[in-house]
Structure 1
Amino acid sequence: MTISEDEIVSALIEYHKQSTEELDNTEDIDYKCKVYPEAHYNHYGNRGVADLYIETKSELGDGSCFVYEIKSESAIRGSTGANEIIRQFNKMREYFFKDESYEPYHHTTFELCFTPTEYNLNHIYDNLSIYQSNVEQDISDLSVERTNTIVTTRIPDPENITPILFSSPNLSPEHRTPFKKYAKKSNSDIYERCKSFFDRL
């Protein structure tokens, strides 16, 4: 069954709203979640659209923000390859917060998320070294406490949206070895959906 980019966006919105409500219920501090689907940015002609931008902010002023680029199988098939996808993603990383409409928070995450199909997972795995070297470069140039860039796959279920991480500077390859075992433990639904891919690893 095909999963669209919009389905992932909707699940991420619901997940972040639920997480913010849980923070409100467990802490004495007020938290607010602001959601911006199709967040347009423009910095002196360097323009584009993030599929989703989310801010989670406390009444004390600290918070986190998340900038998502979602890729469906049709988007991958319609591209010229990993380099084109990375160029688009890096443009967003470099210029999104240079648009004064958006303000980075203490913890800022850029995520390139692929819908979980065998074609997409094969694409990521075949180009893993390219994606890994990309996330290790901090091209956003933000003066915040922590900036993280990750490459993932997720299913559109806010109750089970834990990603399988393909590339992350905060998670060494050793923590994902063997990858098949790591994937099954991270999200068994994605593992079962793309089992023949994982069985070939």
Structure 2
Amino acid sequence: MREDELATAVVDHFEAAFDDPEIRLEEPYNHYGTRGVVDVYARTAPPERVTYLAELKADPAVRMASGANEILRQYRRTERYFFRDDDHDLRASLARDGPGVHLLLLFAPTVDCVEHVIEHRSLYASVDPDLSIDGVPAARKVAFLANLDAAPDGGLGFLSVNGDVGVESAAFRDAVPPGSRLADALAEADVDVGTESDS
């Protein structure tokens, strides 16, 4: 599975789930030489403007990465510098209910991604879901994508790895849609959930 397939699903989901969202792919940022690219940048329409920054990881990305630290460094760099770029504004809203920014690190529902995330599960689980960016409440989510086929109807699923339920737990597996690509990947993955590894 390639990242462009994931991007298509995420875009389809946002277009179905929100009225007239602003969506850009491969959105660059540059803050005094600190450059990067966000896979998907989406903002919902006013008055309840919410920003979503999504980093997408499919098989090639987890195979080429030296480990979870490399992937998390890229994810956190976006968090630190994206809104310091003058092209990306972030405004506090007194009327907003919930986070104004969602920072998403989304993994494909594949065997390679499942094995990578479970191998490094304590690092991914350690990502604090809550933060504030320039006074705007924000949320971090590290998750597997599920229900890719339902994306055009707004039914894309996000199964969190850094939430209250551990990825190796029975509760997490119970939340996986039966017959989904993620369910198949979890069944096929060669993982030992009894051993922590964070290298």
TM-score range, shorter chain: 0.7 to 0.9
One-letter amino acid of the structure 2 residue matched with residue 80 of structure 1 = S
The answer to whether the aligner puts 1:143 opposite 2:129 as a matched pair is no
Residue-by-residue CA offset, 1:17-36 (whole Å, 9 max, x unaligned) = 11124xxxxxxxxxx31111
Q: How does 1:1-201 map to 2 (within 5 A)?
A: 3-21=1-19, 32-58=20-46, 60=47, 62-104=48-90, 106=96, 107-136=100-129, 138=131, 141-144=133-136, 146-155=137-146, 156-157=148-149, 158=151, 159=153, 160-168=155-163, 172-173=164-165, 177-184=170-177, 188-197=180-189
Greater share of residues in helix: 1
Work out the number of aligned pairs and report it: 181
TM-score (norm 1): 0.79
One-letter amino acid of the structure 2 residue matched with residue 9 of structure 1 = A
One-letter amino acid of the structure 2 residue matched with residue 100 of structure 1 = D
Name the CA distance, whole Å, in 2 between partners of 1:133 and 1:11. 27
Distance 1:161 1:120, change over 3 A: same
Distance 1:48 1:174, change over 3 A: closer
Give 1:152 deviation, angstroms.
Answer: 1.1
CA contact (8 A) 2:125 2:166 kept: no
Instruction: Indicate the SS of the match to 1:135.
Output: coil
* Alignment RMSD (CA, Å): 2.6
Give 1:161 deviation, angstroms.
Answer: 1.3
Name the CA distance, whole Å, in 1 between partners of 2:73 and 2:186. 27
CA contact (8 A) 1:191 1:198 kept: no
Distance 1:48 1:19, change over 3 A: same
Instruction: Indicate the SS of the match to 2:157.
Output: coil
Name the CA distance, whole Å, in 2 between partners of 1:37 and 1:93. 17
| Higher RCO (Cα < 8 Å, 6 or more apart) | 2
Give 1:132 deviation, angstroms.
Answer: 2.0
Name the CA distance, whole Å, in 2 between partners of 1:19 and 1:180. 26
**What 5-or-longer segments of structure 1 have no aligned partner?**
22-31
Give 1:193 deviation, angstroms.
Answer: 4.3
Name the CA distance, whole Å, in 2 between partners of 1:195 and 1:54. 33
Instruction: Indicate the SS of the match to 2:73.
Output: helix
TM-score (norm 2): 0.80
One-letter amino acid of the structure 2 residue matched with residue 74 of structure 1 = P
- Of all paired residues, the percent bearing the same amino acid is 25
